[in-house]
Structure 1
Amino acid sequence: MKLDGKTVAVVAPAGVPDMTHVEQSIALLESWGLRVQVGAHVRDRYRYHAGKHEDRAADLHRALTDPSVDIVWVARGGYGSVYTLRAVPETVPCAKTLVGFSDATALFGALHGMPNVRVIHGPTLNGLATKHDDASRESMLAELREERAAPVPLQRLYVPTTDTRRVDGHLAGGNITVLASLAGTQWQASCDGAIVLLEDVTELAYRIDRSIMQLREAGVFDGARAFVLGDFIRCPLPENADFTLHDMLVDLLKPYDVPIYADFPIGHGTRNHAWTYGARAALEGDQLVR
């Protein structure tokens, strides 16, 4: 897939982006051969959102329905994408790719599986050029080009038996807190048959516990074939805790009796490799193969 000449529409459905960071990322996209249009309300501010709800929703709807736009790129996460979900059109007229992560996990629930739409969990423009490492940028470019990703070595946390044969599935997941916030709505995720990739940021351990319990009780993880943990940035344990965050997460996910791995390079730190929601993948030899 060649990128030269393709058009990116920048949208800000959630938090207020730092336009200095966004502009540096736009320059990077242009160096990749992409043309970039900035949504009408990306520079707006309304309380802690990037403009009023109806304006953010209008920018998203316009980008998804404009036949001249090839890629819809989220400017920043934060919070607020849920307000725009009803603006997602019933059909998308031509092939489009949406890129984002964190709060954009809400958009995945509305867009995944829709004809003509590809969803990539990858850096927002608030951090693509300035906050993530070169490997993450290279991963993002490769994903846009639909190139095969190199296998990623993982840390094995739990396997139900000593049997470590290949596990196949499609990729799903995203930000734990956002996934939990959609539980019980029409945009609730389904992880049946999935290798579930999970990350979070600035959440106390007990809040992550609470979110996973909500996802468990809502049936979101039913049928999952494996769990793969990414980075959990600034997610502190209680003072004097005698357990690690991985200990807690294994306890919470172990009832599914499927493999649990860690150290996939996604999240809010410097590492945030891109992956396509719904793409086929496998766990083999303690590696994620895509």
Structure 2
Amino acid sequence: MTVDGQTVAVVAPAGVPDMEHVEASIALLESWGLRVQVGAHVRDRYRYHAGKHEDRAADLHRALTDPRVDIVWVARGGYGSVYCLRAVPEAVPCAKTLVGFSDATALFGALHGMPNVRVIHGPTLNGLATRHDDASRDSVLAELRGERPAPVPLQRLHDAGAARVEGHLAGGNITVLASLAGTPWQARCDGAIVLLEDVTELAYRIDRSVMQLREAGVFDGARAFVLGEFIRCPLPENADFTLHDMLVDLLKPHGVPIYAGFPIGHGTRNHAWTYGARAVLEGDRLVR
């Protein structure tokens, strides 16, 4: 599959992007042969959002319904996508790919499973060209092209006796997933290999979010958990446990394997993956 000549619509449904970083990423996309158009309100600012709620939502709706747009790329995470979820159309008229992560996790619940829509968990334009590494950039281009990635070696944290696990990929940012619990856009993880990451959250806040997801039934039916990076997520002073210890305690009641080491998150490594794609965990590797 080629991306040459496809059109990208840049949208900012959440936080205020750094346009210098976004422009650098746009130049990168153009070097890949993509045509780029920037949403009307991407450069706006309203409090801590990239413009007023109705304007951000209008840009998203327009990009999802415009038959000339092939790829909808989120400019930045932060917070605010939840305000735009009711603007997601009931149907998308032609094939679209949405790319984003972090706060864009809120969009996954609204778009995943919709005909004509593919969702890629990958770098936003606020960091694609300037904050992530070459491997992350290569991964999102490969994902757009539909290329099969190399298997990813993982660290097994909890062995539930399964030598091989198959499922579809789901998950995203823990805090955003928890914020959607009980809403129409609550994630569904039945049959899923659940990939999780977070940023700038104290350990007890991650604990609270995971407990909310557990008690809301979001993780019911999950087949495995795979942890990404947790950037600037400090433990209490003098803690005698690791963040992985805490997460294993929280997730092991589901009775499925738990792994760590998948290169996603808010650090330099943020490899792209397609929401809902089939994957296998075998030999402590994730194979897609």
TM-score interval for Structure 1 and Structure 2 normalised by the shorter chain: over 0.9
Contact map agreement 1:12 1:75 (CA 8 A) in 2: yes
Equivalence map 1:175-186=2 (5 Å): 175-186=173-184
8 Å contact kept, 2:199–2:230: yes
Post-superposition CA distance 1:11-55 (Å, at most 9, x none)? 000000000000000000000000000000000000000000000
How far apart in 1 are the matches of 2:276 and 2:249? Answer: 26
Aligned-residue RMSD, C-alpha: 0.6
Distance in 2 (alpha carbons) for counterparts of 1:263 and 1:47: 36
Q: Distance in 2 between matches of 1:249 and 1:79?
A: 24
Shift of 1:165: 1.7
Contact 1:205–1:245, Cα closer than 8 Å, also in 2: yes
Is the Cα–Cα contact under 8 Å of residues 164 and 285 in structure 1 kept in the other structure?
A: no
Q: How big is each residue's C-alpha offset from its partner over 1:239-272, in whole Å with a ceiling of 9 and x where there is no partner?
A: 0000000000000000001000001000000000
Aligned to 1:36: 36
CA separation in 1, counterparts of 2:34 and 2:74?
A: 15
Q: Deviations over 1:173-219 (max 9, x none)?
A: 00000000000000000100000000000000000000000000000
Tell me if structure 2 keeps the 8 A contact 1:172–1:278. yes
Gapped regions of structure 2 (runs ≥ 5): none
Shift of 1:81: 0.1
| 2:75 corresponding residue in structure 1 | 75
**Whole-Å separation in 2 of the counterparts to 1:141 and 1:56:** 26
Distance (Å, rounded) in 1 between the aligned partners of 2:73 and 2:164: 34
The 2-side partners of 1:282 and 1:259 are apart by 12
SS at match of 1:186: coil
1:51-72 Cα deviation digits (max 9, x unpaired): 0000000000000000000000
User: For the residues of structure 2 that align with 1:164 and 1:149, how far apart are their CA atoms?
Assistant: 23
Distance 2:131 2:63 in 1: 25
Q: Which residue of 1 aligns with 2:102?
A: 102
Give the Cα separation in 2 of the matches to 1:163 and 1:248: 20
Q: How far is the alpha carbon of 1:164 from its aligned partner?
A: 4.4
SS of 2:36's equivalent?
A: strand
Contact 2:120 2:273 in 1 (8 A): yes
Structure 2: how far apart are the matches of 1:177 and 1:95?
29
Q: 1: CA distance between counterparts of 2:3 and 2:248? A: 40
Q: Percent identity?
A: 90
Q: In structure 1, what is the Cα distance between the partners aligned to 2:164 and 2:25?
A: 38
Residues 1:192 and 1:164: Cα distance change in structure 2 (over 3 Å): closer
CA distance in 1, matches of 2:165, 2:226: 12
Contact (CA 8 Å) 2:161, 2:257: kept in 1 or not? no
- Contact persistence 2:111–2:117 (CA under 8 A): yes
CA deviations over 1:147-169 (Å, ceiling 9, x no partner):
001000001100xxx74421000
Structure-2 separation of matches of 1:55 and 1:169: 37
In structure 2, distance between residues paired with 1:3 and 1:278: 21
Query: Is the 2:77–2:101 contact (alpha carbons within 8 Å) kept by the matching residues of 1?
Result: yes
Cα distance between partner residues in 2 of 1:289 and 1:78 = 30
| SS of match in other structure, 1:190 | coil
Work out the CA distance in 2 between the residues paired with 1:246 and 1:19: 35
Rounded to whole Å, the distance in 2 between the matches of 1:272 and 1:185 is: 28
Report the CA distance shift for 1:163/1:217 in structure 2 as closer, same or farther (over 3 A). closer
- Secondary structure of the 1:123 match is coil
Equivalenced residue count is 287
Instruction: Give runs of aligned pairs for residues 244-263 of structure 1, distance below 5 A.
Output: 244-263=242-261
Shift of residue 277 of structure 1? 0.2
Shift of 1:280: 0.1
TM-score scaled by length of structure 1: 0.98
